[in-house]
Structure 1
């Protein structure tokens, strides 16, 4: 009896060790872009770094927040990562001009336990912690630990087939097909409460991207706008066609929710300070007349000019536009103050600035015409 009990306890201890197998993770930036890292709410970097290694972490989901220097401040990018037990996950932070920051998983390899203890006094900036060994690196050594990132980024998919490389990194993960979205909607509908629906939707989007039109289908499954807003904010960084994200505004009735989502979406995009040299027109696509029609329908669903302005600005944020189509947008406003605001915002997005003076005819008050002209004269010559 004692031998059987001892054998059972030994088995349970062995199983517990398997379950509790730690995970390691390595974050490195593309082209050595500096960053600060907050992991699960805890600041890990004492100074700006280009690579951070975290040893012996609890497996599962964790939050990683990166602060990237931009102009006089920082661009904040927060995302969730999943760490497999017994594996070392390697992530690369991509912060390219004209695109929002993206954290991309490039590999996950079994942890090798025969490497011996790590020394903390052999290089500057490294430090340990009993709850998890945090290793901040500023150099490029230990090449045997890190995969060849260039080779991984040129592959179409990793060992799980999840991650797809697209020049410019517009997407992080695989794109959900219509059938997969149908399956997700079916799983969401099986839950009675919005909180349960939200958990399922977030979990599905944590490792996948989704089209704006499919996101709209998913958001319609929620009964309350509060949960719908939370999912829309979470999904904003997972939309494969961010230029169409404005479409989700049609699903919100409360002005406060529209404003909050618009502000969140704007903060998630790189701003002028973050992109040296200002906007890069080459990274934008020109809106077609059909796309302008869709944007105007979304704006037209709102009763107030301020809500229309939020939708139109969001639709223009990642695209360029012709002056003729901009004039159509400006006519959607009832009051000239919002019309003036959009005209100023859209000027840097117009591909034919020589025709921009045509918009002056849409203003009845000379003060607005003068204000717009003064604004244009203050902008860099195009």
Structure 2
């Protein structure tokens, strides 16, 4: 009986230890330890060694999205930040907040590369029977629009916004919904700039049958009419991928 009791205690201790270990796996690194890591990476003499050490650490330990952002911001350029962020993402404790890392970048094209890399670009469609696999274009999620709209609003002038918006649309592997295009258009100050983007964005829209929603972003009826005429002239062209 005494032996059984000791065996039961051992089993309980093992179970508790296993549960504690699993719990630790879901927690990010303590801030004091994280500060030590930052100092260690900063002490590396070369940029290549800093990146190597940062990647090795991200693979070995669990970091929060904010910690990944902080560490990425310490690296010299966006190429290094992208390489590090891609290495860190699989072991990030809160991947649903990984959009926070986008703020560490200075180039939106690198942000979109990271965005597309951590979220698959296509999803398999239904297969009613034997035959080829049907792929359905994936659309931009509502949560994914947050950093895009923030970036557009940060720009001071419409020409800069237009350049950034075109870069976003052309570099994304996902299509946008008409309601999302409307949100992007609303970031602009002047009607001509809004119309120019609305025309350009039509080719990157998934639900073109709802493009009338974009009209609500305009203040004047003549601008709405101009967009409607443009949409009619483009209605037979397929969406770009």
Residue among 275, 279, 285 paired with 2:124: 275
Cα displacement (A) at 1:202:
0.6
1:181-260 equivalent positions in 2, closer than 5 A: 181-208=34-61, 210-237=63-90, 245-253=98-106, 257-260=107-110
Q: Distance in 2 between matches of 1:243 and 1:310?
A: 24
Alignment partner, residue 358 of structure 1: 213
Summarize deviations over 1:1-50 as a string: whole Å, max 9, x none. Answer: xxxxxxxxxxxxxxxxxxxxxxxxxxxxxxxxxxxxxxxxxxxxxxxxxx
**Unmatched segments (≥5 aa) in structure 2:** 1-16, 127-135
- For these two proteins, the number of residue pairs brought into alignment is 200
Alignment partner, residue 164 of structure 2: 307
Q: Residues 296 and 193 from structure 1, CA distance in 2 versus in 1: closer, same or farther, beyond 3 angstroms? A: same
The answer on whether the counterparts of 1:259 and 1:307 sit within 8 Å (CA) in structure 2 is no
Q: CA RMSD in A?
A: 5.0
Relative to the length of structure 2, the TM-score reads 0.54
Cα displacement (A) at 1:220:
1.7
Alignment partner, residue 185 of structure 2: 330
**Unmatched segments (≥5 aa) in structure 1:** 1-156, 165-172
Q: Distance in 2 between matches of 1:369 and 1:328?
A: 18
Q: Distance in 1 between matches of 2:51 and 2:195?
A: 40
The answer on whether the counterparts of 1:252 and 1:258 sit within 8 Å (CA) in structure 2 is yes
Alignment partner, residue 266 of structure 1: 116
Q: Distance in 1 between matches of 2:37 and 2:96?
A: 23
Alignment partner, residue 176 of structure 1: 28
Q: Distance in 2 between matches of 1:376 and 1:242?
A: 38
Partner of 2:124, secondary structure, is coil
The 10-residue stretch of structure 1 (192-201 or 335-344) with the greater mean CA deviation from structure 2: 335-344
Partner of 1:206, secondary structure, is helix
User: Which is richer in helix?
Assistant: 2
Summarize deviations over 1:234-260 as a string: whole Å, max 9, x none. Answer: 44555555565454444444xxx5324
The answer on whether the counterparts of 1:246 and 1:298 sit within 8 Å (CA) in structure 2 is no
